[in-house]
Amino acid sequence: MSVRTQQRSAAAEGRRRPSPQERPRTPGRPAPSATPPARLDGRAAAALMLGGAGMFIFNIVFGPLAIVLGLRAARDPRGGRFGRLGGRLGVVLGILDLAILAVLLISRIGSDGLTWQLGG
């Protein structure tokens, strides 16, 4: 018997099905919510983390990765509202990573040439 058939038969008898909020709760279990919590897409979360970390370390690697993962998350229709938003923010952070790298390289080349020094 389908759900619609059960609902019609319940309506014909003059009774209605209780909503999830009206159903008695089982001890130790939370009440069921009407809407599931919004989840952040894994690619969007990775783009945000890589973009944030790229502002401080390895921006030549983390920036492009954040952009690629962010674009994929933003274009995925299953990502939901927060997946798309997280993807867009990941792209912005990835672009910011590359801009920081460009500023650092330009300031380094303009002052005394490009030299890398490991240690003190």
* pLDDT band per the 50, 70, 90 thresholds, residue 70: very high
Model pLDDT for residues 22-55, shown as the tens digit of each residue? 666 666 666 666 666 666 778 888 999 999 999 8
- Between 20 and 90, the more confident residue is 90
pTM of the model: 0.61
Report the interhelical angle of 80-112 vs 59-75 (nearest 10°): 160
User: Which residues, other chains included, contact 63 with Cβ-Cβ below 8 Å and sequence gap of 6+?
Assistant: 51, 54, 94, 95, 96, 97, 98, 101
Q: What does DSSP assign to residue 77?
A: G
3-state secondary structure string, 10-46? HHHCCCCCCCCCCCCCCCCCCCCCCCCCCCCCHHHHH
Mean pLDDT, the chain, whole residue set? 78
What per-residue confidence (pLDDT) applies to 30?
A: 64
- Which residues does 30 contact at the CB level (< 8 Å), separation at least 6? none
**Res 8 pLDDT > 80:** no
More confident residue, 107 or 18: 107
